[in-house]
Structure 1
Amino acid sequence: MRLQRRRFNAALAAGFGLPLSTAALAQFRVEISGIGATQLPVAITRFRDEDRSGQPISLIVRADLERSGQFRIVDSSGALDERSAPEFADWRGRAADALVAGSVTRLPDGRFDIRFKLWDVVKGQELMGQAYAVTAADLRLTAHRIADAIHEKLTGERGVNATRIAYVTKAGGRYTLHITDADGEGGQVALTSPHSIISPAWSPDGRRLAYVSFETGKAVVMVQDVQTGDRRALASFRGSNSAPAWSPDGKRLAVTLSRDRISQLYMMDAEGGEPRRLTTTSAIDTEAVFAPDGQTIYFVSDRGGSPQIYRMSANGGNADRVTFGGSYNISPAVSPDGRTLAYVARDNGNSFRVMTLDLGGGAAPASVSDTTDDESPSFAPNGRLLMYATRAQGRDVLMTTTLDGKIRTRLLSTGVDVREPAWGPFSR
């Protein structure tokens, strides 16, 4: 079993007093595989003069839409910008239902004017047009916002490309906590350490990150302001402090503490103070996550003899078992609408796969990955995608997948291991 089952294994080690082994910003390349059942064909032409900005605006927009699984990019060749009058018959002949064109112009003050239009090719009419005046530092973010605007106009749902993710890289014996765009690029370094960093969790407003740091020689839950970098220890009690999870209102965090020797669930005020114990069992209880209503938490426990996912009131009390297939189910994540549970399951062949489960009691659990060493599933804020870490070609990498598993995107790094992803909220 790899140490990457680190969240449950950390609780296991702390619960029984066992020793725990502690294990450069990556530039990502996107590889997309799979075919969706229904995808809207869209043409995205190269934005006029985008090469002068230093960012491939149209290619970023294209990759964002492809990654969503809801769009299929068709032949986009040809000279066109937002001022053009498209020949809709030509674009219909290329099987495009929608068309995007734009331009990038450098302004006298050094900023860039980015403009685009979206047309309905089938109806032969303009759907929307927008303009942005931004600094060079905001060019990538603007491209993501353009993709989100197109996504919402054509599907009626918010896109997630302008949101952020957090993840941890390991290179040369150093661990780095990154905060980046949703495609894994751009962003900032939140923390670099020679010691492990695990379990990042976003506050609901996107302003803070909670995570577990081993810099003091044991697991301590830290909270860090994303903008200023200010950080403080939230939970540094006797024993291990791990697995932070924010309540939907941002006022509380559920944490796993072994202050009474065995790992149990506690609730803490977001500003600190004395924790309140939620579980009182002789088993390992850990990895709590809140349901969107804030009234229920899902967590992992081996009270039945093996790690399984349970559900109980956020105030504690009796717990109901949720997962029954297999003997090892960990790392729960709940979709923003509260309807789907994602988790990692071990099969009989000792493979670990991301699974989804309809919490309404519908279909049986389904695997959404084609890899065998998955961990740390995290939902996009619109609930349409899952991000998780896995092992491929000898490296830890990040993947995104649609909930049906049909469209998977691999975010490849160069020379570093990437793990512990956490998708941020709609707050940017």
Structure 2
Amino acid sequence: MARPDLHDRIQNQRRLREAQGRVRVRRTVGRRDGVRVEVDGKWLAGFCSNDYLGLSQQFEVTAALQDAASREGAGGTASHLVCGHHALHEQLEREMADWLGYPRALLFDSGFMANLAVQQALLSEDNDVCVQDRLNHASLLDATRLAGCRLRRYPHLDSEGAMRQLKNAADGAAMLATDGVFSMDGDIAPLRSLSLVARMQQALFYVDDAHGVGVVGEHGRGSVADAGLGVNEVPLQLATLGKALGSHGAVVLGEENLIRHLAETARPYIYTTALPPAQAAASLAAVKLARRDHWRRDKLTELVAVFRERARHHGLELMPSSTPIQPLLCSDDATAVALATALEQSGYLVGAIRPPTVPEGKSRLRITLSALHGAEQVRALVDAIARARDLLAYEQSLNTANA
């Protein structure tokens, strides 16, 4: 029997995405200036970045990057376990561990790689199981596939569902993994009840707090600390450096023996060139600012309230979120794309998110706020969304009448 032709498969998949309105197109940013971005020669107000605290272009952060690059060069030169582990990496790990209240941290090139490393190093192909929230980030799901263990998923935010899945997988080691703040919904996992489930079922509790650290809780220590939990209840957690901290990379924080095991056995750590020391210097400066500048989180809280009040005024359908991630549900893929296009014509850059990034029937505009936005800018965005919604509804009604 002839093998399937990969080129034919690719073309068929492309035609399907086109028919579904799910073709993804890269937008090239020419320049950035705070929350403003130049796309195709046009300046737009950006509401789709993860730079929640506005640190990516902050002077102290970029100055640290430039200064370290002038002294240490542009690259990491080798993996951490050969000769790539620099004093700046060490300082960054210690700063993150101190901030989030963990014994030790381990630096990775990205959050995706960190999640792969955790499960690959701790779970096996035997009878081990990883139980996850159905809306967890793709990297957590892919990590289970890499580890080769069983994947069990529970309904979103359903602690009892997590309990049932763990009870039904009694053999082997178990991990309970969840996002802290969900990247597409903006809501927060019920970490206290999940930690109790993990303890009752003797499962290691792992929280990916990529979108929580820097933003949620007192001093921005994230959703784990905000829930009153620490290393005893959450032995491992992930914090990225490329979102609220505006830099690049990630750290896994945890118990001493767990972090040592990751450093000695995790393939995505062992076989990857270390981050450039200059990048670590930038992240270190960003962490110090995030710890110091409480006004950034206060500003975000104010802007979230402004956004939601204005949206309610216009009758826009919001999802329950108190974080800078404010999704606006759309009826279908085409509506999400049409609204994003209309907003761009009005001077705003907002992401239209469609399956498979979100579940079928849950296409949306993913609107994200930054401490660099102004209240009037946020109100103007919501007004533009309402105008685009009304115009689209009018056009659809005309099409229906003429059909």
Q: TM-score range by the shorter chain?
A: under 0.3
- More strand as a share of residues: 1
Bigger relative contact order (CA 8 A; separation at least 6): 2
- More helix as a share of residues: 2
TM-score calculated relative to the size of structure 2: 0.26
